[in-house]
Amino acid sequence: MATFSIATPFSILLTLFLATLLGVTKVEARSFFVFGDSLVDSGNNNYLATTARADSPPYGIDYPTRRATGRFSNGYNIPDLISQRIGQRESPLPYLSPQLNGQRLLVGANFASAGVGILNDTGVQFANIIRISQQLAYFQQYQQRVGALIGVEETRRLVSQALYLVTLGGNDFVNNYYLVPFSARSRQFALPDYVRYLISEYQKILLRVYETGARRVLVTGTGPLGCVPAELAMRSRNGECSAELQRAAALFNPQLTQMIQRLNSQVGSNVFIAANTELMNTDFITNPQAFGFVTSKVACCGQGPYNGLGLCTRLSNLCPNRDLYAFWDPFHPSEKANRIIVNQIFSGSVEYMNPMNLSTILTLDSQT
């Protein structure tokens, strides 16, 4: 079996000429693509008519520009910190950003949209959000745009050598199954059956990510859902984590890791990496002082018990030092907590990163 690549001197010259004309230089650090929900959305929802948004203060209060960018964080989010770890000079822009064109496309793109889940009916209350199938459709559109810029062959290489991050699942519980008592999904499924259904749908999504060309995909599960300030405010009497939501996370996350192991055997290589975000978060939630936090129960920005009710807005309570809080708002970790999570993604043991951490991936991939 042989593959031929015909590169005549003329076609090389033409490519160089076009590349110079279009201001395109060689791809430097590997590209990075992000799919998922608010934990990884870097601002797509700013461009949509939705209530799931983080584009006004105090969001972004510690971001370099001190502006709200649409990230659900006081500063950097998880994709920013991963992007920095793989040597990118700037984070991939939100796919809907008008600034995402020309050479910036080669950095990658962020397709994530706050409010989405594995299921299409998750997050319907947020109106216009980019559901995961649409995020994948945008990725195909992206590949066509980049193809027009650097050619089909070079695009295929960029896509297969890139790093991917997929973060889904939390909203399928908090913004679907447990959103209201007697939700449609909770009447349809007992929790263990719902979890099995989510895992089977998540598997289909991951296979589609693979089919679109991805070969290194970090996949996160949910955090300890019952311990976020929002759930403490709604469901807890004495500050203990909500048992029901903890049960959901405890069922979902191990099955996600198992599903990823099966997928890797199916495709015959370690394409997918399970990041145990439940354990990463549980570490600092159960022992906040050891990580330099004063609390893991009270959100920095919010109102009501644990600052866990409603949204983080200009009118909310706001803590003076965000680094002392594990949670920035009722649902999302602070930048400081995101750093702890990304440190584990980078160098965690197999309990945290299965089958391997990001530093090992970078070493392996630099050898091929």
Tell me how far apart the alpha carbons of residues 240 and 57 are, in angstroms, rounded to a whole number. Answer: 30
Sign of CA dihedral 232, 238, 244, 250: positive
Nearer to ligand NAG, 175 or 295 (CB): 175
37 among known catalytic residues: no
CB of 107 to ligand NAG, least distance (A): 25
DSSP secondary structure of 234-284: HH-SSSPPPHHHHHHHHHHHHHHHHHHHHHHHHHTS--EEEE-HHHHHHHH
Neighbours of 30 (CB within 10 A): 18
Which of the residues 31, 296, 316, 332 is marked catalytic?
Answer: 332
Least distance in Å: CB of 41 to ligand NAG? 19
Within 8 A by CB and 6+ apart from 134, the residues are none
Q: Is 269 a catalytic residue?
A: no
Q: CB under 8 Å to 35, separation ≥6 — which residues?
A: 111, 112, 132, 135, 136, 139, 164, 165, 166, 167, 168, 209
CB of 208 to ligand NAG, least distance (A): 10
Query: Catalytic residue among 31, 38, 236, 242, which?
Result: 38
- Residue with smaller CB distance to ligand NAG, 120 or 141: 120
Tell me the chain's radius of gyration from C-alpha atoms: 21
In the bound state with ligand NAG, the residue whose beta carbon lies nearer, of 133 and 188, is 133
Burial of 368 (0-12, 13-18, 19+ CB in 10 A): exposed
Asked whether 254 and 329 are in contact (CB, 8 A), the reply is: no
Strands of 108-110's sheet, edge to edge? 108-110, 32-36, 163-167, 217-220, 272-275, 353-354
Nearer to ligand NAG, 24 or 356 (CB): 356
In whole angstroms, how close is the CB of 151 to ligand NAG at the nearest point?
A: 30
Residues at the site binding ligand NAG, with contacts judged by CB under 6 A = 120, 133, 201, 347, 350, 356-357, 359-360
To the query of whether residue 133 is one of the catalytic residues in this protein, the response is no
* Burial of residue 159, with CB atoms counted within 10 A of its CB: 0-12 exposed, 13-18 middle, 19 or more buried: buried
Q: How far is the CB of 282 from ligand NAG (least distance, A)?
A: 20
Cα angle for residues 189, 195, 201 (degrees, 5° grid): 100
- The residue of the chain with the least Cβ separation from ligand NAG equals 347
- Please report how close the Cβ of residue 351 comes to ligand NAG at its closest, in angstroms: 10
Nearest in space to 249 (alpha carbons), one of 279, 267, 271, 223: 223
C-alpha to C-alpha distance for 345 and 275, rounded to whole angstroms: 7
* Spacing of C-alpha 218 from chain mean position: 9
- Choose between 227 and 361: whose C-beta lies nearer to ligand NAG: 361
Nearer to ligand NAG, 97 or 357 (CB): 357
Catalytic residue among 37, 316, 329, 334: 329
- Structure-token match 């895992």, residue found: 199
Q: Which residues are catalytic?
A: 38, 329, 332
